[in-house]
A and B are shown apart, each in its own frame.
Chain A
Amino acid sequence: MNALTYESPGSLDEAVKLLAAAKGNAKVLAGGTDLLVQLRMGMIKPAMIIDIKKIPELTAINEENGGYRVGASVSGAVLGEHDGMKAAWPGVVEAFELIGSTQIQGRASMGGNLCNGSPAADAVPAMIAADAVCTIAGPNGRREAKVEDIVTGPGQTSLANGEIVVDFLFPARPARSGDAYLRFIPRTEMDIAVVGAGISLTLDDAGVCTDARVALGAVAPTQLLLQDGAAALIGSKLDGAAMEKLDAAARAACRPITDKRGTIEYRIKVAGVLARRAAKIAQQRAEG
């Protein structure tokens, strides 16, 4: 039997040291909503679990230059009660809050949602659309990376041995900006996304889209950032033609699989639908 140990360091330095010393045999525990399931199912057999919730900066939400820095261990329930983030990045908050039940929300973290590496992670497309940047601490100090550069494949990330995601910076955004995230699931709750679409955009005074980011989840081995999708919106008033272009761009980008949660055909079609619908919600939010 494996001799598992549990550590709950009070500082990031300590956590990084433990993680690096374990040479890949340790797992970071934030909310545990994925980790403990994998442990229970015997999918992972780590030698050490490092609980990072006692590290203050990982559980903090701070305003920073008009934007927000959100600790990687902040739970969905806590973020959902944060008025500043709700006003600034409603799409990010709603995406995070879609993960699991109320009970899961009490624990699940954005850092975990990202680092679990699931293509279907709900928070990730919204974070990518928001152009969020994460801080990563490791044996060689700190670095920053765009959220879209973290997941490299199902269950795979670009984090090096000993690295921990510390927080996410959601930047200040121009006036008349809005974001939204929609996902499709067979039920109304408790499912993994079959398709997810996150969109962030900015409008000028005439209602013309001047900037946009479009991200999809669950339709490829990683979340996708769609340049064509953004191009379809920028310069338009999100009229019918732009929506059709967005729909087509979303469908064209998909490289999904057929599995127990949905078919290739279904995912492709619904990706276009959700992209359009999310764009319209983001537009309404931008218009205030």
Chain B
Amino acid sequence: MAKIHVTTTINGEPVEFLCEPQQTMLDVLRDELRLTGSKEGCATGDCGACSVTVGDRLVCSCLMLGAEAEGQEIETIEGMADGDTLHPLQQKFLEEAALQCGICTPGVLIAAKALLAKNPDPSESEVRYWLAGNLCRCTGYDKIIRAVMDCAADMRGA
């Protein structure tokens, strides 16, 4: 079983890795690159805990092969903070208690960041539908939705 050599960019850094053809990007991130911030909640694209961006697109890394990363630019939760400064969404989630157990949080944050990049002024309904693929079982979503909207307002004002 020949491994595939992949050259890609992850969180702005050039990365090379070897993967098996059937390994998903999530497997590669977690098991090969030890970037365990992306979580496996289902492995079938139904929970969003493994969300990453590939180029300007939000995807489930469990539904992408590692081999497909060739030449792409991938961002994971590990790249969201800027040095020792948290991204405004990360900060807002902390301030507004928008997480409980925290397992869905990386995926939610990546998804919310992708939303605000496209739509800096989303309605509550737009946030809810955008994040419908990010399951959270702890919060009832209330504080997550509020934190995203409050952060969007802050970022528009800044």
Direct touch of chains A and B (CB < 8 A): yes
A51 contacts B44, C-beta separation under 8 Å: no
Nearest B residue to A31 via CB reads: B63
In the complex, how many angstroms separate the beta carbon of A212 from the nearest chain B beta carbon? 30
Contact of B57 among A6, A29, A51, A77 (CB under 8 A): A77
Report the Cα distance A106→B63, complex, angstroms: 11
In the complex, how many angstroms separate the beta carbon of A116 from the nearest chain B beta carbon? 13
Nearest B residue to A75 via CB reads: B57
Nearest B residue to A189 via CB reads: B132
Contact of A8 among B43, B67, B132 (CB under 8 A): B67
B65 contacts A107, C-beta separation under 8 Å: no
Contact of A102 among B22, B46, B111 (CB under 8 A): B111
B64 contacts A32, C-beta separation under 8 Å: yes
> Which residues of B lie under 8 Å from residue A156 when comparing CB positions?
none
A36 contacts B132, C-beta separation under 8 Å: no
Contact of A3 among B1, B48, B64 (CB under 8 A): B1
Mask: chain A, 35-70; 1 = CB below 8 Å from B; 0 = not: 011011100000001010100000000000000000
Report the Cα distance A104→B42, complex, angstroms: 14
Report the Cα distance A188→B24, complex, angstroms: 28
In the complex, how many angstroms separate the beta carbon of A41 from the nearest chain B beta carbon? 8
Q: Is the C-beta of B120 less than 8 angstroms from some C-beta in chain A?
A: no
Report the Cα distance A190→B111, complex, angstroms: 15
Contact residue range for chain A? 20 to 34
Mask: chain B, 108-120; 1 = CB below 8 Å from A; 0 = not: 0001001100000
A100 contacts B45, C-beta separation under 8 Å: yes
Max chain B C-beta neighbours (<10 A), residue from A49, A77, A103, A104: A103
A6 contacts B65, C-beta separation under 8 Å: yes
> Which residues of A lie under 8 Å from residue B129 when comparing CB positions?
188-189
Report the Cα distance A36→B24, complex, angstroms: 8
Contact of A1 among B1, B43, B115, B131 (CB under 8 A): B1
Report the Cα distance A53→B22, complex, angstroms: 17
Report the Cα distance A49→B68, complex, angstroms: 11
Q: Is the C-beta of B4 less than 8 angstroms from some C-beta in chain A?
A: yes
> Which residues of B lie under 8 Å from residue A107 when comparing CB positions?
57, 59-60, 63-64
Nearest B residue to A4 via CB reads: B21
Report the Cα distance A100→B59, complex, angstroms: 11
In the complex, how many angstroms separate the beta carbon of B29 from the nearest chain A beta carbon? 15
Q: Is the C-beta of A140 less than 8 angstroms from some C-beta in chain B?
A: no
Contact of B59 among A1, A39, A106, A189 (CB under 8 A): A106
> Which residues of B lie under 8 Å from residue A100 when comparing CB positions?
45, 133
Taking CB atoms and an 8 Å cut-off, the chain A residues in 6-36 that contact chain B are 6, 8, 29, 31-33, 36
Nearest A residue to B115 via CB reads: A102
Where the two chains meet, the residues of B that have a C-beta atom closer than 8 Å to any C-beta of A are 1-2, 4, 20-22, 24, 43-46, 48, 51, 54, 57-60, 62-65, 67-68, 70, 111, 114-115, 129-134
For the A-B complex with A32-B65, A101-B60, A106-B59 known, give 6 more contacts whose Cβ atoms are closer than 8 Å.
A1-B1, A29-B65, A41-B44, A75-B57, A102-B58, A190-B132
Contact sample, A vs B, 12 pairs, CB 8 Å cutoff: A6-B21, A31-B63, A32-B64, A32-B68, A36-B24, A36-B45, A36-B62, A77-B58, A103-B133, A106-B58, A189-B129, A189-B133
Closest 7 CB pairs of A and B: A101-B133, A189-B132, A106-B57, A6-B21, A106-B59, A4-B21, A103-B60
